[in-house]
Structure 1
Amino acid sequence: MAWQGTIVFFDLQTTGLDTKSCHIVQLGASCEDTNFNRYILPGIPIEYEATEVNGLTVSYGQLFLHGEPVRTVSLYHSLKYFIEYLGSFFCPVLLAAHYAWGFDQIVLMRVLRKFSLFEQFEQVVSGFVDTLPLSRKLYPQLKWFNQPYLVRCFLEGEYNAHNAVENSKQLEELFWNYWEPYNEDISEFTDWIYALK
């Protein structure tokens, strides 16, 4: 039986990999051909390794993507817009990301709490699905389980690692068009919001 609720696929591009201190520089999401995308000017430098992945740099108070300036929105307003976007679907939704439990979920929860937006967030979101362990359960025979490999394996396409929206769209396509997990599999790899308070 197909999952009855809404699952929104999301991805963060950040200044680095430290979940306690990194800043979000792009917040992207995809659900049913409706995308969300906000770039955010970080308050700390973007690490070289992060720039190598996402192509984002800061110069003279301006965010650039591969040398081209991009329009930014404050983190607070980006989060508010994101909550509004999530609220436009049949709620509460599940948020899905590849390695959600180890990174995206942790960073997003930290900044929501920092801006006292968690209560608004939990009105529209019921939990986080981590598609990394889900993919391991569904396809134990695979050699690797990172998203670039899964995209090449199933979609036979190129992985656009430096774009949060493209990552979200590709994950959504993998999830619904190729994996089609059972409800119990989705539930098994979901962190429910009520348990994260």
Structure 2
Amino acid sequence: MARQGTIVFFDLETTGLGTTSCHIVQLGASCKNTIFNRYILPGIPIGDKATKVNGLTVSYGQLFLHGEPVSTEPLYHSLKSFIHYLGRFPGPVLLAAHNAWRFDQIVLMRVLWKFFLFEQFQQVVSGFVDTLPLSKKLNPQLDCFKQPCLGRYFLGGKYNAHNAVQKAKQLEELFCNRWNPDNYDIEEFTDWI
């Protein structure tokens, strides 16, 4: 990965699918067995559909995962910690997510701007790789490109499809151990910032 330095795989769990209004409830990332995981108490209710998918609920100011309380950190501190985590890798860093351009990148950038953290973020991150269109180019024989389908096809195993850390780890394994795209493919599906 000559030009970009390091690729870090990340994922978000949110209160819903509205990119302009959802709140982040989990921010997870993986790079070479170095994990980042933060749960965030949202400022708005978690939608019923989101709860069915990710198992996260809020009751009396506490976040629960499948009925068990989880420790949370304010979003601002989670973002600062994430920037610090990313800064530990040889840079500049590329962030990779499945469907990044239509969801994860948009939501993450919105909250970075909201908390005036974009400039700090930009010092360590050079862009976003969207592995959804990349997977379509590399595997045109497939008919399903959702991450769970790709995981079953290439890895054969089941994983927690709605846990940000598990999704980031699985995406890293798909990318690095199964697809192994070259720099030209990576650049084609990178949105530079």
2:110 maps to what in 1?
A: 110
2:187 maps to what in 1?
A: 187
User: Which 4+ stretches in 1 moved above 6 angstroms?
Assistant: none
Instruction: Tell me the matched-pair count.
Output: 191
Pair 1:154-2:154 in alignment? yes
Structure-to-structure mapping, 1:63-142, within 5 angstroms: 63-142=63-142
| 2:187 aligned partner, one-letter code | S
Aligned-partner Cα distance in 2 for 1:49–1:136 = 27
Structure 1: 5+ residue runs without aligned partners? none
Percent identity, please. Answer: 77
SS of structure 2 residue aligned to 1:90: coil
Structure 2: 5+ residue runs without aligned partners? none
Aligned-partner Cα distance in 2 for 1:155–1:165 = 17
Aligned-partner Cα distance in 1 for 2:57–2:120 = 31
Q: Over the residues paired in the alignment, what is the CA RMSD in angstroms?
A: 0.5
Aligned-partner Cα distance in 2 for 1:99–1:162 = 14
C-alpha displacement at 1:162, in angstroms?
2.1
C-alpha displacement at 1:182, in angstroms?
1.1
Contact residue 152 and residue 159 of structure 1 kept, 8 A: no
Aligned-partner Cα distance in 1 for 2:186–2:49 = 32
TM-score for the superposition, normalised by structure 1: 0.96
| 1:182 aligned partner, one-letter code | D
Post-superposition Cα deviations, 1:1-59, rounded to whole Å, max 9, x if no partner, equal xx232000000000000000000000000001000000000000000111111110000
Aligned-partner Cα distance in 2 for 1:140–1:60 = 48
| 1:107 aligned partner, one-letter code | V
TM-score for the superposition, normalised by structure 2: 0.98
Aligned-partner Cα distance in 1 for 2:127–2:162 = 25
Aligned-partner Cα distance in 1 for 2:121–2:170 = 24
